[in-house]
C-alpha cells in the first residue's frame, strides 16, 4: 500500500487483515484513502459502506473538509440522512472560520432539503468571504432564505 497507495485491492487486503488482527484503529487511514479513491472512481456505494465502517473504527480520524462534503453527499444520496448530515456538519467544523467559500456553498447546497438550518449557516459562511464571486453570492443569498421559519 505504501509503494502504490492507489491500489484498491492492496488497500482492501490490508484493511481486511487489520480487522482480523484487531488493528483497525491504526490502519483507519488506509480505509479513509480507500473511501476517497472510491468516490473519485464513482463507486459511491462502496465508499458509503466503507465510510460507515470507518466511523466504527476511526471516528476521530482527521478528514479534509472537501472529502467530508463528498462523503456527506454520497451518504445523503444513499438514504443515510443522519450520517450524511453528520459528515456535512463535520466539514463545516473542520473548515472553521477559514472554510473555503466554495466548500461552504457545496455544504449549503447538499444540506438544503435535509437540514435547512445547516444549509443557511453554511451559506452565511460563504457570504462572509469578500472574494465570493457575484454568481456564487446570489446562490448563497438564495440559500439563506431556504425553508426559513
How do residues 54-110 score in pLDDT, each as one tens digit?
A: 998 888 889 999 999 999 999 999 999 999 999 999 999 998 878 999 999 999 999
The residue assigned the cell 447538499 is 110
What cell was used for 26?
Answer: 491504526
What cell was used for 90?
Answer: 463535520
**What's the CA gap between 27 and 137, in Å, rounded?**
41
CA 6 to chain centre: 19
Instruction: Please report the pLDDT score of residue 8 as a whole number.
Output: 65
Q: Given its phi and psi angles, is residue 96 left (phi above 0), alpha (psi -120 to 50 degrees) or beta?
A: left
By residue count, the chain amounts to: 149
Q: pTM for the complete prediction?
A: 0.85
Amino acid at each position: 500500500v505504501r509503494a502504490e497507495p492507489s491500489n484498491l485491492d492492496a488497500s482492501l487486503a490490508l484493511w481486511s487483515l487489520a480487522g482480523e488482527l484487531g488493528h483497525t484503529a491504526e490502519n483507519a487511514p488506509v480505509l479513509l484513502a480507500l473511501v476517497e479513491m472510491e468516490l473519485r472512481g464513482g463507486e459511491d456505494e462502496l465508499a458509503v459502506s466503507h465510510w460507515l465502517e470507518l466511523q466504527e473504527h476511526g471516528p476521530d480520524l482527521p478528514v479534509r473538509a472537501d472529502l467530508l462534503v463528498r462523503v456527506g453527499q454520497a451518504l445523503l444520496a444513499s438514504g443515510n440522512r443522519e450520517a450524511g448530515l453528520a459528515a456535512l456538519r463535520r466539514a463545516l467544523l473542520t473548515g472553521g472560520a477559514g472554510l473555503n467559500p466554495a466548500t461552504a456553498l457545496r455544504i449549503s447546497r447538499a444540506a438544503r432539503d435535509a437540514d435547512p438550518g445547516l444549509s443557511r449557516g453554511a451559506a452565511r459562511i460563504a457570504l462572509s468571504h469578500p472574494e465570493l464571486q457575484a454568481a456564487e453570492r446570489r446562490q448563497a443569498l438564495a440559500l439563506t432564505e431556504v425553508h426559513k421559519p
